[in-house]
Structure formats: structure tokens, C-alpha cells
A and B are shown apart, each in its own frame.
Chain A
Amino acid sequence: MMAYIVRRVLYAIPILIGVNVLTFLLFFVVNSPDDMARMHLGMKRVTPEAIQTWKQERGYDRPLLYNDAAEGVGRLTDTIFFQKSLKLFQFDFGSSDSGRDIGYDISQRMWPSLAIAIPVLLVGLLVNITYALLIAFFRATYIDFWSVVLLVAMMSISGLFYIIGGQYLVSKLLHLVPISGYDTGWAAAKFLVLPVVIGVVGGVGAGTRWYRTLFLEEIDKDYVRTARAKGLSEPRVLFRHVLRNALIPILTGVVVVLPLLFMGSLITESFFGIPGLGSYTIDAINSQDFAIVRAMVFLGSVLYILGLLLTDISYTLVDPRVRLS
């Protein structure tokens, strides 16, 4: 087991290097730091000196890959690639283009993101599994048919509509919770209720439909028929046999997204004014802060790879048929 995990972790290293080189190419080679400076300072009447100061303040005035002017190891380390890209590996994100410490911002904004993402995940799982089990119980009846129609219709509605509609109905017409904002501690709850509910409702369509397929796939198998032949009641068959076996794909599907919960949801957070990592990313995109976007790209990739690793491990834990090879 340990050897397997170590091998998987080692395999992640070349992928992270690939991501790193890719972001480096995207952010520094496609457009030079000069272009970025000109973009930030405004296109008209930019003096070369202004560009130089802008680059110097942010440490973009070094050569890209090889520094002729430096001595010894400095020839390789005193470059943009080393200072800006490789340092991401130490989770040293540096400072944003507006001068704030990105690492500190991320550690602060992580919590509001989790405060939404974790309830959405848990409540969503509960609702989807319950509904899917219900449909499986009433399979091939009108309840099944109309539920699928409802689920497909719900899948076809844009997530934006759930948010805008929910905000309008709950906050503006009924005045139940504030439209947007955030607070510290338990006071945040009233701001979190609506985004969580909307997150769950928005996910019911696709989620329940997927679980329904999983359940129905199990329900035709031989061991289920045997269980029925033994005289087990239908609810008992569903909970003891179908649900338990269908949980394997459900569990692995959940594990893969666990690390990515840290990244938060771009749309929800910006609509509800929640200071999480999602709105952090959106703000960075809108203010064209490349340092933050670069850091988030790297962080997101690390978390994704971590998710894959966790999935593989959890697979081997819950499903004894899977051998480590």
C-alpha cells in the first residue's frame, strides 16, 4: 500500500512540472511582461521608464530563463522562471500585482469557500441519494417517468437562473435572508443558507439522474434477485444490497472533488458577495491580476491531482476486488 502511494505521488511530480511550464509559457512567453505592463498602465502615452518601474516593483525585470548578468548559480536562479514559476512548488505564491501577499489571502479566503462548499456537498448527497432511491423504489411507474422528466428539465436550466431567481424570490420578495454579504462566526449562517440551498437545488437534476442510473444498474444483478428470492422486503433489498454496492462509484465520485472544494464556486460566491477563493479568482480575472490567476491555476492543479490520488486510494479501501498494480 505504502509503495503504491509513494509511486502515485512520484508520478504527480512530472505532471505538476508540466502544469508549471504551461502556465509559464502562457503568462510570460505568449505575452511579454512589457505587454502586461502596458495593459495595466493604460495603452496611451506609456513611457519606457514607467514600464521599467512597473516591472521592477513586481520583479518582472529579470530575463526569462537565463541571466547573463548574474554570477554562478544566479544565472539560473535570478530569472523569471525560477523566481515566479518554480517557487510555486514551495507554495510560495509571492505577492499579487497590486502588492498583497497571495499566500495570506488564500489562507484567509479558504474558510468562507469551505463554509459553502461542504454543506452543499453533504446536503446535496443526502437529497440526491434519497430521491434516487425513491425513484428506484417506484421504478417503471408514473413517478419514475415524471421524475426523470423533471430532472432533465432541471438539468437544462442554467445555474445562473437558479441563483438570480432564488435571490429575487427569497431575498427581494420574501425578505427572508439578506441578498448578499458575509459575516464572521455563526453570524454568517444567515448569509450562507440561500447559497447552500441554491447550490443543492442546482445540482439535483444531474446528480439524482446519475445516481438513479447507478441504482437501476445494480437492481438487475443476480445477487439482488437472490436477495428478493430469499424473501427480503423491497426496502431491505434497496438499503442493504443496492445502496451499499452503488455507494462505491458514488464515493469515488465524491472523493475526487473533495480537494477542489477549497477553490470555492466562482459564480455563487461572486453573486452572493462571499469573500472566498472563488470570488478572489473572479476579482483577479476582472482586474487582470496575473500573479493571482497563476497562483490559482497551480493550486487548482495540485488539488485536482490530490483528488485523483485520494480516489485511487479510496477505491482500494472500499472495493476489495481492486488490486494495487
Chain B
Amino acid sequence: MSGELVVLWTDALIFLLLVVAVGFGVYAAGRPHLRGPWGAVVRSRVGMGTLVVLAFYVAVGLLDSIHFQPGDGNGGPAGAEVVSLFDTLVGGLRARQEKSYSAPLATRLYTKENIELPDGRTVRDYPRLRYGGAHLQDPESERLPDLLRLSAVGIVKGLVVSLVVANVLIMLLAGRNRSDYGSQARQLLRGRTGIPWRVALGMTTLMLVLVFWSAELAAKYHLLGTDKVGEDVFYQALKSIRTGLVIGTLTTLVMLPAAILLGIMAGYFRGWVDDLIQYTYTTLNSIPGVLLIAAAILMLQIYMSNHADEFNSLVERADLRLLFLCIILGVTSWTGLCRLLRGEALKLREVDYVQAATALGVGHMTIITRHILPNVLHIVLISVVLDFSGLVLAEAVLSYVNIGVDPTMNSWGNMINSARLEMAREPIVWWSLAAAMIFMFVLVLAANLLSDVVQDAFNPRLRNRR
């Protein structure tokens, strides 16, 4: 694994976001009024379960965000190809390309072809796959036992690893609570811990078993089949996780500074500043989002085709388009948050402690950063979580209209878009569509459930309502 590190724009921003998130976590941990709601999120069973699922997605996304150009292995010059750490971890999936469509876990191609037999005759049949189940002598009879064996091995491996995780957790908890291992384990298994560790462990076990099971099968077969050019669909779906996460998080990150700054300024200063900012966001808001995105992406396409030589590689080009998409999605979606913050700042500036600070001659900047900003942070956080699932879904729709991410980039939208044409085939090719839908559904469902929990935690008035 030698090579030159390549930092794409979105990579840099993702890790910036990670730093910000960790920094905020440390900041919030020392402040009870911020720690409280997050504690409530973690203490809720739904919140804990979704956090575990999201953690697995984020792990894949982060691994997929460390890019480098692999050398030739002998310290030679790096090639033009850019791969991610995730690619090297699942190296096999990427390299094992078939000729065309093949069904999930199949050993033969989905279409008939002329095959030349050793004795020179040609027959028309479904040819064996180059990689899927290639280790079998007689696929028809050996496939099912082999699949069962691999599944069993994968599930056992997953269970063993989760057992280790569970033991480590129990020991840590026992150490912290100064109780012995046995009673801590009993408490946890009966679900009598303040934080629902039993749910967390259950979800982790489920996810780990799934990971090891799919890893075991994907090493020998194409777990979710292959697409038109023979690429592994499971690999595509995994790669799409990063795209989905980037769209869902970076869009909000990109728009946050503008929304926070302008929203607070409008509410705090009022007068002509307020008028100007309100005018700006009403104008931007009145352009239908899809059309603004379409117009901007069209312009970007022209710019890119006129300045094709400025991009070093296809990956870089696709990455820049992704970033641009995030920015333009941010431009269309910051207005809602801005309006909320303006309203909140309008209320806060009349609060006694702000009046007192003004009377004491504290400067505007200090008042804003010390008194107003900390008091609107929860609104910002809720909107970040709320926007996420909508943005992931929007990506799919935009890619379908060809104004989403670059067509060469792996994304659920692109997978659905290409699968749409395959639905017309007879017999139909359903696995690309199904894979994209399931991966997207799990992520969006987890995000939706989490956003409910977060909203409840920050907004107790609405508890038991949603």
C-alpha cells in the first residue's frame, strides 16, 4: 500500500466536518445544558439503535474518503488512477469484473452467448462467470452447499467478533461503575442500564454479522450480482454511501456559515440590514429549487467542457462537481434556517441579559458570540439532522434528471437511473435497483428516526407527539 496521498476537496471538507463535530462534542460535554439533550438522545432506545447503524455507514464513508494514487509497488511513479483506502480493503470486489449482467450469487452470466467447447463445436448457453463461484467444479450441485457453508462461517465470525465487543464493553462498564463483571453483565442483558447498551449491542451484533456474512460471500460470489458492464453491484452500493453522506452533510456545512451569520445579523441589527437580508433570501427562495440547481449545473457543465484541461483526473472532476452540487443545494436550502435564526435572534435581543450587556457597553460582536450564538445552536443542530434525509433522497432524484452528481461517480441515484432502463428487459434485471433502494432506505430511515429523537430531546413540548 504505497503511493501518494490525494486530498480531494470533499475529503478535506469531510474531515473538517469530523473535526468540528468532535470539537463540538468536547465543548458540549463540559456544559450540562448542551449535554442534557444529547444524553436524552443516547438514552432513547431508538436513538441508540439508529446511531449504531449510522456509525457503520459513516465508517464506510470515512474509509472511502482517504484517497491516494497507488504506486507500482516498487517505489515507482504513481499512476493516474485514484483509489481510496476502502477500495484497497475490498480490493477484490473492484477488480473482479464480469462481462455483463449476472444475477445475485450466480455462477453463470444472465444472457446466453456462443461458447466454444474444447472439441471445437460452439453451443449457445449461459457461460460461466470469470469470478463468481469460479472455485466450484460443478456449480449446479455444489453452489447451494457452498453458499450455506460460507454463510455459516461468516455468521460465526460475526458472532465471535460481537462477543468480543460485548465483553470489552461489559468490562469497561464494570470498571467505571466499580461493580464486578457478572452483575454488570446481568444488568446489561436485562436492559437495566441507564444508557440502553443492550440495544446498542444487539444492533452492533446484527450489523457485524451482516458485514462478515456479506464479506464471506462477496469474496467468492457477486453478492448482489453485476451490472451491464459486469461491475459488482454490491461494490457500487457500498461506494455510493460516501456520495450520499457527502451530499447529506456537506450541503448543510457549506450553507451554515452564511445562514448563521445572516440570520443572526438580520434579527439582531434589524433596520436596513434586516430588510436587505430578508430581500436576499426571499429572492433566492422564490426560484424553484430544482430549476435553480438545473440552471447552475448546466452552467457548470459548460464551464467544465470549456476548461477540460484544468482537471487532472476524472475523479477530481467528478469530485468538484459533487462539491458544486453541495454548494448549490446549500444555496437553495439555507433560507429556511436563516429565517428561523432571524426570528430567534429577534426574540433574544430583547431578553434581559442581552439588554444588560448592551447597557454595560459590551460590543455587538461580543454580544452575538457570547449571548446569541450559544442560544441558537440547538436550532442549527436540529436543522442539520432534519435536512440530512431529505438531501440523500434529493440526490437520487437529481441524478435521475442528470443534474445530480457526475455520471461516472458511484451514487444511488446513478444506480437507479441506469437500472430504470434495465427494468424494460425481459426477464428483468432487478438487483441494481433493489440494492440501491435498500442501502438508501436503511440510511434514510435511520436518519429520520434519529431526527425524531433529536427533535424530542431538544423540544420537550412536542414529546410523545411524533
25 pairs of residues in contact across A and B, judged by CB atoms under 8 Å: A15-B282, A18-B279, A18-B280, A19-B283, A31-B303, A38-B306, A39-B306, A152-B448, A156-B444, A156-B448, A157-B441, A158-B412, A158-B437, A164-B433, A167-B423, A209-B466, A213-B465, A266-B397, A266-B401, A285-B403, A294-B295, A297-B287, A297-B295, A300-B287, A304-B286
Known: A26-B296, A160-B396. A155 touches B402 (CB 8 A): no
Select from chain A the residue with minimum beta-carbon distance to B433.
Answer: A164
Q: What count of chain A residues pass the 8 Å CB interface test?
A: 54
Q: Is A301 an interface residue (CB 8 A)?
A: yes
Residue of B nearest to A297 (CB): B291
A217 at the interface (CB under 8 A from B): yes
A285: contacting residue among B279, B294, B423, CB under 8 A: B294
- Interface residue? B351 (CB, 8 A): no
B401→A285 contact, CB < 8 A:
yes
**Complex CA–CA separation, A213 to B301 (angstroms):** 43
Chain A residues with Cβ below 8 Å from B466 are: 148, 209, 213
Give A134 Cβ to nearest chain B Cβ, in Å. 17
A168: CB under 8 A from chain B? yes
| Chain B residue nearest to A215 in the complex (CB) | B465
Query: Which residue of A19, A26, A140, A155 is within 8 Å of B286 (Cβ)?
Result: A19
Per-residue A-contact encoding for B398-417, CB less than 8 Å = 1, 0 else: 00111100000000100010
Cβ contact within 8 Å between A282 and B299: no
- Determine the chain B residues whose CB is within 8 A of the CB of A172 once the complex forms: 423
B298 sits at the interface (CB 8 A): yes
- Given A39-B305, A267-B400, is A288 in contact with B287 using a C-beta cutoff of 8 Å? no
Contacts of B301 in A (CB 8 A): 39, 288
Interface: B449 (CB within 8 A): yes
A-B contact count (CB 8 A): 132
**B residues near A, CB below 8 A?**
279-280, 282-288, 290-292, 294-296, 298-299, 301-303, 305-306, 389, 393, 396-397, 400-403, 412, 416, 420, 423, 428, 433, 437, 440-441, 444-445, 448-449, 452, 462, 464-466
In the complex, are the beta carbons of A266 and B299 less than 8 A apart? no
Q: Which residues of B contact A38 (CB under 8 A)?
A: 306
Complex contact B298–A285 (CB within 8 A): yes
**Pair B393/A30 contact, Cβ less than 8 Å:** no
With A27-B295, A148-B466, A297-B295 already in contact, the answer to whether A22 and B287 are too (CB < 8 A) is yes
Q: Could you tell me if B298 and A288 are in contact, using CB atoms closer than 8 angstroms?
A: yes
Chain A residues lying within 8 Å of B400, measured Cβ to Cβ, are 160, 267
Across the interface, name the chain A residue whose C-beta is closest to B462.
Answer: A213
Question: Is A305 positioned at the interface, with any CB of B under 8 Å from its CB?
Answer: yes
Q: Which of A14, A159, A281 contacts B294 (CB 8 A)?
A: A281
The answer to whether A158 and B396 have CB atoms under 8 Å apart is: yes
Count chain B CB atoms within 10 A of each CB in A14, A152, A213 and give the residue with the most.
Answer: A152
Task: Say yes or no for A132: interface residue by CB 8 A criterion.
Answer: no
Measured CB to CB, the closest approach of chain B to A170, in angstroms, equals: 13
Q: Which 7 A-B pairs have the closest CB atoms?
A: A18-B283, A300-B288, A156-B445, A156-B444, A301-B286, A304-B286, A297-B291
A36 at the interface (CB under 8 A from B): yes
Question: Could you say which residues of chain A place their CB within 8 Å of the CB of B401?
Answer: 266-267, 270, 282, 285
A301-B285 Cα distance, complex, nearest whole Å: 8
Closest chain-A Cβ to B46's Cβ sits at a distance in Å of: 10
- Contact A43/B448 with A297-B292, A305-B286 known, Cβ cut-off 8 Å: no
Residues on the A chain within 8 Å of B283, using CB: 15, 18-19, 22
| Chain A, residue nearest B416 (CB) | A160
- In the complex where A15-B282, A216-B465, A286-B402 touch, is A26 in contact with B299 (Cβ < 8 A)? yes
- Partner of B288 from the list A18, A26, A304 (CB cut-off 8 Å) is A304
Name the interface residues of A9-28: CB closer than 8 Å to any CB of B. Answer: 14-15, 18-19, 22-23, 26-27
